[in-house]
Amino acid sequence: MDIRSTRKRNALLLASKLSLACLSAMALVPASHAAETTTSAAQNYRIPAGRLADQLKLFSQQSGKALLVDEALVKNLNGPAVQGSHSPQGALALLLADAGMHATANKDGSFKVGAAEGALAAVTVTGEKIDRSMQETTTAVTVLRGRDVDVGGSRSVYEVVSRAPNVTANGAGIPNIRGVAGTGPSTGVFSFISGARPRVSTSVDGVSESWSGQRYVDSGLWDVAQMEVMSGPQSTTQGRNTIGGAIVVNTNDPTFHREGAVRAGYENKGGKALLAGMVSGPLVEDELAFRITAEGLRGKGFINYPGEWPWDPSEIRRSSVRAKLLWQPKAAPGLSAKLTLSRRDQKGEYLNTVDGDFTAYQFRGLASNTRYQDSSNTTVSTDVRYRFSDALTGHLQYSRGDYDAKFKETGADRFSLKMDEKSNTLESRLVYDPNGGAFSGVVGLYYYDRKQDLNAAPDGFVGDDKVKTLALFGESTLTIANGLDLILGGRVEREKQNRDVTAWPGKPWTGYVKTDIAETLFLPKFGISYKATPETTVGFTARKGYNAGGGSVDWITSEFYQYGKEEVSTYEFSTRSQLLDKRLNLNANLFINRYDDYQALLNRRFVNIPKGSSHGLEVSANGMVTRQLELHGSLGWLHTKVNTAPAANPAIAGNHFNYAPRFTANLGFKQRLDGGWYFGGDLTHTGKYYSEIDNNEQFKAGGYTLVDANAGYQRAAWNVRAYVKNATNRNVMFLKTATLAQVGQPRTMGVTVDYLF
């Protein structure tokens, strides 16, 4: 068969595969890569199987060759053992083969490590507390590399997660996953008084983000290595507040070579100016390294505020600083210790709320006053890892958090709110993961305590809240036959909450929230995984998740009441395929959720819905059409239902959950051109959904399609990029009520300039 007919056959095969995920395809041009050779003599290597980053460090030490590596590409990847006599190029080829990467020899004798031509880079999932490839992961997860989502226009990790199927934006902050509101059953004052929990947790470098009823302090995308959007309950390993899913963010670690970056940017809506920087390098050669990142944003939001106000309601000021130290002492080769300090501050506008004409991007204070926030989040964490052997690794992480959420409001009473939260988290775990072994697993202990001091004045509410959690968790995979694995896991968790809040003190309608709740739960997980072919793995899992209950006061009578915990049983089928010589990844998940005592806010009162359900399908794919064109896409289909309504609210029986569109889709591409030019784009569709679970037709939101695009030029150390968000200027509505709506931004254009050194 001649080369031309072979190319045509491969192109048709790739196009048919991509069409399964609704990706448009072009003719496939197979990339050929001639292996680089080097005249260096062969030498002996002793590199054990393990983390690829550690292996490359050993290679550099044993070969005497310098390596230029994109840390984001090798973070959390594993490689095989390399023993015996090899040339430097040959040893590197063995280390990198399973990761879909290759090394190119430079004229000075060093090597540059990057993704193999025409192949997708290997992906490692970290969110289940044991590193797994995408092929080994049955959980529905979308992995986003930092360099693919940080294309200049997005400011928050929450702005890019809609690339995952059945994930939608939430105007109050945490995204919704599979029709489950990420913010929990309520936001704002109702969440603040009751202590209601989010249903989707967000962690950055292993440290969970705080939540107090509204997103006050964002986590940005600058210097992010990888994001993982995990759908469905993640209670077994992630623990608290994950009945809907989890968002796991990993930032870049210090490097043992010197590097730095600077970014400057400007955006037309509100005249936003951005400045960011990063510097990393060794303090002690091959032992102690540092990394410092900083980012600042100044400007105004896209909401207009007609009239006179005591301050500029549209002002936005954000800053973020993160510093890391990484210690890998030569005297203890298996030890790695990391210290991370992070500080984020946000001032000014934080609510994208409009009134009157919801499409005019105006807030006139018709039904409520405008607000100005001054909030901060400070964390300190230590992460210690010790490799006892090639198969057994111990992890210990401690973090201390100090979260301060504040806002003041216009109006005659000058209402203000302040919440001060202190938290401590300690997690230790043992990971057993032998290369090629029949058994692997993780077991861990988890401790968490939190204290909140609440003060809303004048005459709002005041009090404190204390939570303590202790858990034992584990998950294991056992090969029981050729290609067939058994998955067993579970979590035993004990949580105690004491909340003492006085609402509207000194008023005739004063109310008191006094909860003393303690509960122990067992959350099991069971599954099987079968490697049907070398390219395709199928799986099934059954697992449980939960969210704690709480107490509140009736908005009308001020009567204290309690509501119970919510639980879910999830059954999920999965397929993972890596096709066409690693040029195409095709993943699918079919799920069924059965909810008991699902929490909701009805008539300003928390209730438990006795029975609810959802089922759906998620398909995602990404592929290298040519060595310069990469496509990605996803489809999500969802159906939710209230099966049994509360006795006091029988009318909602048969209703859909709020934030539960029937259909979501995403399609995007990145095209690189010769000479350093590139361009790309994303199309994201969110179907219509109800803002509340009472399914009022007047308050439907969603129903929008967003088009984002970017183009740029990258050469040597420079990268200049222009972008447009919401290119078609669609009206985006996240939530709608009788008097207010939460909206997304109109068409916005900007430019960023990066310089690497």
Higher-confidence residue of 367 and 745: namely 745
Q: Is 88's pLDDT higher than 90? A: no
**Which pair of tokens denotes residue 319?**
């800053």
Compute φ and ψ for 627, nearest 5 degrees. -70, -10
* Equal fold, 31-117 vs 141-756: no
In this structure, are strands 111-115 and 67-69 parallel, antiparallel, or unpaired? parallel
pLDDT higher than threshold 50 for residue 478? yes
pLDDT tens digit sequence for 328-339: 999 998 999 999
Query: Percent helix, strand, coil in the chain (nearest 5)?
Result: 10, 55, 35
3-class secondary structure, 16: helix
| Whole-number pLDDT of residue 411 | 72
pLDDT tens across 292-330, in order?
999 999 999 999 999 888 889 999 999 999 999 999 999
- Each residue of 716-733: pLDDT tens digit? 899 999 999 999 999 999
Phi, psi angle pair for 83, to nearest 5°: -130, 155
On whether the CB atoms of residues 396 and 439 are closer than 8 A, the answer is no
Residue range 252-305, pLDDT digits in tens = 999 998 999 999 999 999 899 999 999 999 999 989 999 999 999 999 999 999
Any idea which architecture 31-117 has in CATH?
3-Layer(bab) Sandwich (3.55)
Query: Amino acid letter at 301?
Result: G
pLDDT at 13 over 50: no
DSSP string, 575-625: EEEEETTTTEEEEEEEEEEEEEEEEEEETTEEEEEEEEEEEEEEEEEEEEE
- pLDDT band for position 71 (50/70/90)? low
Q: Could you give the 3-state DSSP secondary structure of residue 343?
A: strand
Q: What does the pLDDT look like over 100-154, one tens digit per residue?
A: 677 888 877 788 887 666 678 888 899 999 999 999 999 999 999 888 888 767 8
Higher-scoring residue by pLDDT: 234, 187: 234
| 720 Cβ contact partners less than 8 Å away, ≥ 6 residues apart | 712, 713, 714, 751, 752, 753, 754
Q: Which CATH number among 1.10.3720.10, 2.60.40.1120, 2.40.170.20, 3.60.21.10 corresponds to the domain 141-756?
A: 2.40.170.20
Question: Rounded to whole angstroms, how far apart are CA atoms 213 and 211?
Answer: 6
Cβ 446 vs Cβ 398: under 8 Å: no
For 129, the 3-state DSSP assignment is coil
- The average confidence (pLDDT) of the chain is 89
Q: What percent of the chain has pLDDT over 70?
A: 92
Percent of the chain with pLDDT over 90: 67
Tell me the domain boundaries of the chain: 1-30, 31-117, 141-756
- Which tens digits make up the pLDDT trace of 444-457? 999 999 999 999 88
